[in-house]
């Protein structure tokens, strides 16, 4: 009896912890989407995010064809690999990596850097919102 209630408590706290983690993702992304909406974006769509994700751009300096999956792999639930250094990148999908999309400063930093590297320009608020909605659903 005592043992079951102990296990039950562990299960409950695990459940609460994972709920808290997914809430953190939802809150952080929702806050960002609100800000993007205030900048004129709206109707964020995972399909549009997917299209941007698959969009390939040739880097004029190196001649490399770049797309998001080059580093993040084709499956967001799996680890990726940095295109230049080869260092492992943890999965982006919050369903397998709850740390993802939980820190606003990190999201903004990576969207800025990685849009610049991959597309050769910063992403618009609409594009950032679309991609976030797409990643959140994974």
Partner 1 sequence: MNRKTRLVAILLALSAVSQTTWVTQSLAATKIFPPIANAGYQKECGSCHMAYPPEFLPARSWNRVLGSLQDHFGDSAQLDAATQQRIHDYLVANAADKAQNEHSFAIMHSLNASEAPLRITATPYIAGIHAAVLDPVWGGNPRPKTLTECSVCHLRAQVGDYTMRKFTVTDEAFRGHLE
Tell me how far, at minimum, the Cβ of 56 lies from partner 1, in Å: 18
Range 66-95 burial, b when 16+ CB lie within 10 A, else e:
bbbebbbbeebeeebeeeeeeeeeebbbbe
- The CA distance from 107 to 29, in Å, is 9
Which whole-number Å values give the CA distances from 93 to 77, 78, 90, 133, in the listed order? 5, 8, 9, 11
Structure-token pair, residue 76: 């967001």
Q: Is there binding between residue 85 and partner 1 (CB under 8 A)?
A: yes
Among residues 23, 82, 99, 137, the one that binds partner 1 under rule CB under 8 A: 82
Instruction: Give the nearest distance from C-beta 84 to partner 1 in angstroms.
Output: 7
Of these, 1, 60, 86, 121, which contacts partner 1 (CB under 8 A)?
86
Choose the binding region for partner 1 from 7-15, 25-33, 37-45, 81-89 (rule: CB under 8 A): 81-89
> Among residues 49, 50, 45, 58, which one has the least CA distance to residue 119?
58
Rg, the chain, Cα only:
18
43 contributes a contact to partner 1 by CB under 8 A: no
Please choose, out of 8-16, 38-46, 48-56, 78-86, the segment that lies near partner 1 by the rule CB under 8 A.
78-86
Q: Does 113 bind partner 1 (CB under 8 A)?
A: yes
Binding site for partner 1 (CB under 8 A): 61-62, 82, 84-87, 89, 105, 109, 112-113, 116-117
């Amino acid at each position: 009896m005592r043992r079951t209630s102990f296990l039950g408590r562990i299960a409950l706290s695990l459940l609460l912890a994972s709920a808290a983690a997914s809430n953190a993702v939802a809150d952080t992304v929702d806050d960002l989407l609100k800000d993007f909406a205030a900048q004129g974006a709206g109707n964020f769509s995972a399909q549009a995010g997917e299209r941007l994700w698959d969009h390939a751009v040739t880097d004029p300096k190196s001649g490399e064809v770049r797309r998001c999956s080059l580093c993040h792999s084709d499956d967001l639930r799996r680890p990726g690999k940095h295109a230049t250094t080869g260092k492992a990148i943890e999965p982006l999908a919050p369903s397998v990596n709850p740390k993802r999309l939980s820190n606003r400063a990190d999201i903004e930093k990576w969207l800025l850097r990685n849009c610049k590297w991959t597309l050769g320009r910063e992403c618009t608020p609409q594009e950032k919102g679309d991609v976030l909605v797409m990643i959140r659903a994974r």
